Structure 1
Amino acid sequence: MATGTARLLLKTLAGAGLLLQAGCSSVFFYPDRVSYITPDRLNLKYDDVFLDTADGETLHGWWLPSEASESNAKGTVYFLHGNAQNISSHLMNVAWLPQKGYNVFLIDYRGYGRSTGAPDIEGTLHDSETGLRWLMAQPQTDGGPVFLLGQSLGGALGIALASEWVQREEKPSLDGVILDGTFSGFRGIAREKLGSFWLTWPFQIPLSWSITDDYEGVDHIADIGPVPVMVIHSVRDGIIPFHHGEALFEAAGEPKRFLQTDTPHAATFVIPAYKDAATKFMEMSTKHN
């Protein structure tokens, strides 16, 4: 009879084999369809938004209007959330922005929340672009500044989206990009995580090879310039180590700003001073452009 350790090793080997066959981009995505909280529970006005993708999926999002009058909104923030749960569990990260005078648009990638389909890297990249194109076509954003805020996985998607948007000279243009707790690359973080556990350590290189390296953030973040970039990373981040933020900031072009924080992963905006730093960055970016 196999011991517990042997059984665990066999399961790990079997799982590694499946990942090698199917690719392991799925390790980045942990969606669910639970509704944790809705904007009305926070006394926020909102509209449900449903978008059709080119490959037949339907994405769900929320539009949160600024608490200032439409003509007096300071700008619009496009929020791309992290890899777990759905927009209802990430809402608190941006629920404070309407009171500060900003519209907010946030979407769920395919397979998350009320969005159809199943997530993968290419699909979520397309979803993030679908959301931005919808946002840029809305009358509420006409002539006003638009900022991209990506947390964790959302930041990695945001780098790829923003760099292509800038390089293709898409209009309207982005006015600023904020990256919070973002890893420096899909393949890089996968190899790092696999290498940190003794059972998966032998598979870190072959498994990471199954992940595309076309969207490594450190290779593309410089292409966002001259759009201003703010990199936020916590020295206490237990999910995405601090060196990822440092690497992204070093690779970014000017103008750029680094905000070192000391909260758990994706908990930046529970601290008023960090909210103020983000809004100040957006105000300065608007003046820069």
Structure 2
Amino acid sequence: MEARIPRLLLIAPLACLGLLLGGCTSLFFFPDQQVYITPDRLELAYEDVWIDTPDGETLHAWWLPAEGKPRGHVYFLHGNAQNISSHILNVAWLPEAGYNVLLLDYRGYGQSTGVPDLEGALHDVETGLRWLGHQKETEELPLFLLGQSLGGALAITLASEWVPRGEQPPLTAVMVDSTFSGFRAIAREKLDGFWLTWPFQIPLSWTVTDGYEGVDLIERISPVPVLVIHSVRDGIIPFHHGTELYDAAEKPKDFLSTDMPHAGAFMLPEYQEAVLRFMEEAADRQGKR
């Protein structure tokens, strides 16, 4: 143990220097290319989808068709680590409930090309939504946007621009789970929680743009219904982020408080059923059920 201390003292200041020079954007993206599980291992039908972005990247996605007659589409945006193969359990229950699911890997994740960054990820999620818009069933069926953690922050930004512009296809509802209230807000909070970066929390957080703070953007999603899901036991993104997003949202809106670990709500049937009820009510409101 004693031999490791000098190395840690050396590495930690270098990490801080890297943050000071490069900003905090890298804190949000931890991709890998390992395949953890494929849909067929869960007895799910699926198709590999390849989507080209306007700036020359190729994104990989999985299309999970609904079992039986589809009731709608769910566009799923995952969290900041790994790739769609490690997040699929969060939506594996939706095809049986009658929903098609599109899971997208941002640039640099899984089999998608490129290097991840915030602006690139925002372009990617819009590109995926436009791909969905070109599917023949999209106009006839409800379309739900579901994001978890980082994916929820991307979903809020995407919807806050998509809805006011009257883009097609129209969103039926937006659902965000375990999501932080803003990129700069969570960066400052995380930097504040570590003694080595605590003195630099303010200047480092300033390197993160404040143009995509969810609490400032979520109100623009109205009149599309918003569901905020957050756990009182979330040890990664504290519960107050969920309540702040909910308070900032305009009606119609709903809040689902859970008691699962971070991004773990969909492991329990009772929370799945609550989300399905919200989706059905949103579809009724839109007149697409």
TM-score with structure 1 setting the length: 0.96
Q: 1:12 aligns to what?
A: 12
Q: 1:262 aligns to what?
A: 259
**Superposition deviation, residue 5 in structure 1:** 5.8
Contact 1:191 1:204 in 2 (8 A): yes
Secondary structure of 1:239's counterpart equals coil
Q: Please, which of 111, 114, 139 is the counterpart of residue 111 of structure 2?
A: 114
Between the aligned partners of 1:246 and 1:99, the Cα distance in structure 2 is 31
Contact 2:52 2:58 in 1 (8 A): yes
Secondary structure of 2:202's counterpart equals helix
Secondary structure of 1:98's counterpart equals coil
Match for 1:286: what amino acid? A
Between the aligned partners of 2:135 and 2:228, the Cα distance in structure 1 is 27
Q: 1:39 aligns to what?
A: 39
Q: How does 1:115-264 map to 2 (within 5 A)?
A: 115-264=112-261
Runs of 5+ consecutive residues of structure 2 not aligned to the other structure: none
Q: 1:94 aligns to what?
A: 91
Between the aligned partners of 1:16 and 1:36, the Cα distance in structure 2 is 31
Contact 1:12 1:200 in 2 (8 A): no
**Superposition deviation, residue 10 in structure 1:** 4.3
Cα displacement string for residues 29-61 of structure 1 (whole angstroms, at most 9, x for unaligned residues): 111101111111111111100011111111000
Runs of 5+ consecutive residues of structure 1 not aligned to the other structure: none
Match for 1:251: what amino acid? A
Secondary structure of 2:158's counterpart equals helix
Cα displacement string for residues 107-147 of structure 1 (whole angstroms, at most 9, x for unaligned residues): 10001000011101101011000100001110132221100
Between the aligned partners of 1:201 and 1:154, the Cα distance in structure 2 is 26
Contact 2:138 2:169 in 1 (8 A): no
**Superposition deviation, residue 7 in structure 1:** 5.3
Between the aligned partners of 2:270 and 2:253, the Cα distance in structure 1 is 19
Between the aligned partners of 1:86 and 1:171, the Cα distance in structure 2 is 27
Contact 2:181 2:245 in 1 (8 A): yes
Contact 1:16 1:207 in 2 (8 A): no
Match for 2:98: what amino acid? G
**Superposition deviation, residue 15 in structure 1:** 1.8
Secondary structure of 2:137's counterpart equals helix
Match for 2:277: what amino acid? K
